[in-house]
Amino acid sequence: MVYCIGHSIISPLGEGSHANLEAVQAGRSGLKLYTHRFADVEPFCASLFDTPQDFVPLCIKSVEGAMSSQPSVVSLQSSETIFIVSTTKGDDLDLLTPAKTIAQHFGNPNAPIVVSNACTSGVCAQITAMRLLEAGLYRHAIVVGCDIQSRFIVSGFQSFKALSPEPCKPFSPDRQGLNLGEAAATIVYSQQPIANSQQPLWTLEAGSIHNDANHLSAPSRTGEGAYQCLMDVMGGITADQIALVGVHGTATMYNDAMETIALERAGLQDVPKSVLKPFFGHTMGAAGVVETILCAMQATNRQSSIVQSSIIKMLSGFGGVNAAIRLRV
């Protein structure tokens, strides 16, 4: 297991993890209708920054935010620290250069790792961090998730007719599809807990990735890959020990149906769900990082007994990929 010792979120709902949590708790959503943001694109509902942001400065700000909240044990210049960037379209379709720019900005000597595993990237990046730290290859991992919306992305989702013209309604019978979003979020993971300091914010205990091997853009009707991931990360605990499941909940007909089946098969249908896309939209490469942070904060708030200290975060993505992690708060 590895230890979260710092995190931050920057989104249209605010700067800082707490600001974003407060917005969600107050029921504020970043979703709005955009008619002229991108040329030729039909009107779409999304959660976007008022002022268009650039990928690299946004990520740098996000890392700085996470670092300011951790107890100064992590040296970003150390070769024992690795940057892991989670993104689907990077900075104008280039994923590697911005990641290198970010790592170099902080004086880190290692080539960064970019995880590009479609919408599961943010969870997969955390799993990658956990593995690298557990194997003793690094002592700290800075996991940064970010995606900025663009004409490229919006036009593509429109060609899929996957977008809802209104704020999305995950798991509702009259859901019409997803909304896109943008954000940057960072989690600082440490191989060891920090001595003489407050409790780690959470521990990352397990992770699993499975492909449905069924279709590139539609999930398995039986939720096969998602179910396998859930069963893997639930090993050793029972449903009543789980405080919260952070679902993917994109509000497309197929995703939500599949996710419901996978949760039922895993016996998690009665566990409270954290459904965050009505607030942030689908933030693609940032989703896994943003939503993990918020789920951990939500679960910390609502723990009803000491038994319920585990949370699960799950995601699915194009290419048939599914991923899940289990945290202890």
Partner 1 sequence: MEQLIEQLKAQIIEALNFEDMTPADIDTDAPLFGEGLGLDSIDALELIMLMDREYGIKLADPKAGKAIFQSVRTMAEYIQANRTK
Partner 2 sequence: MVHNGQPIAVEATGEKMLVELYRRFAGDYPKFFKMDTLSRLGFIAAEILLKEPIPSDRASRQRIANSQKPTAIILANRSASIKNDTDYMATISDGKYYPSPALFVYTLPNIVTGEIAIRHQMQGETSFYILDKPEDLEPILLSTFHTASADRKNIQPSTSALAGWCECSDANTFYAKIQIIWNN
Site string for partner 2, 146-165 (x = CB under 8 A): -----xx--xxxxxx-----
Among the listed ranges 4-12, 21-29, 244-252, 316-324, the one in contact with partner 2 (CB under 8 A) is 316-324
Strand (E) positions, 12-160? 14-15, 31-34, 44-47, 81-86, 113-115, 140-147
Least distance to partner 1 from the beta carbon of 170, Å? 20
Q: Which does 116 bind (CB under 5 to 8 A by kind): partner 1, partner 2, none?
A: partner 2
**34 part of the interface to partner 2, by CB under 8 A:** no
Site string for partner 2, 80-119 (x = CB under 8 A): --------xxx--xxxx--xx----------x-xxxxxx-
206 is a contact residue toward partner 2 (CB under 8 A): yes
Q: What are the φ/ψ torsions at residue 322 (nearest 5 degrees)?
A: -135, 150
Measured from the CB atom, the residue of 104 and 217 that comes closer to partner 1 is: 217
Whole-angstrom distance, CA of residue 156 vs CA of residue 151: 8
- The tokens describing 239, both together, are 């449903």
By beta-carbon proximity to partner 1, the closer residue of 216 and 306 is 216
Strands 113-115 vs 81-86: parallel, antiparallel or unpaired: parallel
Cα–Cα dist 219/261, whole Å: 11
Q: In the complex, what is the shortest distance from the CB of residue 156 to partner 2, in angstroms, rounded to a whole number? A: 4
In the list partner 2, partner 1, none, the entry touching 199 (Cβ below 5 to 8 angstroms by class) is none
Determine, following the binding rule CB under 8 A, whether residue 218 of this chain makes contact with partner 1: yes
Cα–Cα distance measured from residue 311 to residue 131, given in angstroms and rounded to the nearest whole number: 19
Show the site string, 47-86: x = touches partner 2 by CB under 8 A, - = not.
----------------------------------------
Looking at the Cβ atoms of 44 and 202, the one nearer to partner 1 is 44
Q: At what angle do helices 121-134 and 287-302 cross, to 10 degrees?
A: 80
In a 13 Å sphere around the CA of 277, the CA atoms on its Cβ side amount to 31
SS3 content of the chain, % helix, strand, coil (to 5): 30, 25, 40
Q: Please choose, out of 4-12, 252-260, 271-279, 314-322, the segment that lies near partner 2 by the rule CB under 8 A.
A: 314-322
Phi-psi region of 233 (alpha: psi -120 to 50; beta: other; left: phi over 0): alpha
From the list partner 1, partner 2, none, pick the one residue 218 interacts with, judged by a Cβ distance below 5 to 8 Å according to partner type.
partner 1
**From the CB of 318, what's the least distance to partner 2, in Å?**
6
Question: Does 41 interact with partner 1 (rule: CB under 8 A)?
Answer: no
What are the φ and ψ backbone dihedral angles of 73, each rounded to 5 degrees? -100, -15
Q: Which helix (H) or strand (E) element contains residue 203?
A: strand 202-211
- Our finding on whether 36 is near partner 2 (CB under 8 A) is no
Distance CA 268, CA 261 (A): 10
From candidates 5, 296, 321, 325, binder to partner 2 by CB under 8 A: 321
Within 8 A by CB and 6+ apart from 69, the residues are 6, 7, 8, 17
Q: Is 270 exposed, middle or buried (0-12, 13-18, 19+ CB in 10 A)?
A: exposed
Q: Shortest gap between Cβ of 282 and partner 2 (angstroms)?
A: 14
Supply the minimum distance, in Å, between the C-beta of residue 154 and partner 1: 15
State how far the Cα of 180 lies from the Cα of 237, in Å rounded to an integer.
34
> What residues make contact with partner 1 under the rule CB under 8 A?
159-161, 215-218
> What residues make contact with partner 2 under the rule CB under 8 A?
1, 39-40, 88-90, 93-96, 99-100, 111, 113-118, 124, 128, 131-132, 134-135, 137, 151-152, 155-160, 205-206, 208-217, 224-225, 228, 231-236, 317-321
